[in-house]
Amino acid sequence: MAKEYNALLANGTWALVPPLQNLVGSKWVYRVKFHSDGSVKRCKARLVAQRFHQQARIDYHETFFPIVKPVTIHLNLSLPISFQWTIRQLDVKNAFLHGHLIEKVYRKQPRDFIHPNYPHYVCKL
């Protein structure tokens, strides 16, 4: 969780502001990755928004999911093919952080990562 949280902070994903209305909740989603022999490879955590709190034309006007550019995928696939390397998995971390919001979206601070000096503030995305 700390790695995910630090990536969000390092990319300036939000700023803490005094509490407002129309807050979007968030929750941690966990996933365990395994090796082929069944042993644990790593544990992953993602902080996701609870979109069911958002209202059309107030919190958002359209839905958008930023993805990796096709050129990046092409490069990452053409190199292994050129050198006859085996491709097992392609994982892009924090691709969503490069999207831009037009609307003002506010959400609660993530559980277990509440700023000690501003416990009642919310995150402006």
Q: List per-residue pLDDT tens for the chain, 125 residues long.
A: 788 777 777 877 777 888 776 677 777 888 888 999 999 998 888 777 776 655 666 655 555 555 667 787 788 889 888 999 888 776 666 655 555 666 677 888 887 888 888 888 888 87
Residue 22: left if φ>0, alpha if ψ -120 to 50, beta else—which one? Answer: left
Measured in residues, the chain has a length of 125
Read off the pTM.
0.48
Residue 30 has a pLDDT of 85
The two most distant CA atoms of the chain are separated, in Å, by: 55
Tokens encoding 36: 């082929």
Tokens encoding 19: 């509490």
Nearest 10 degrees: CA dihedral of 69, 71, 74, 77? -70
Residue 48 has a pLDDT of 75
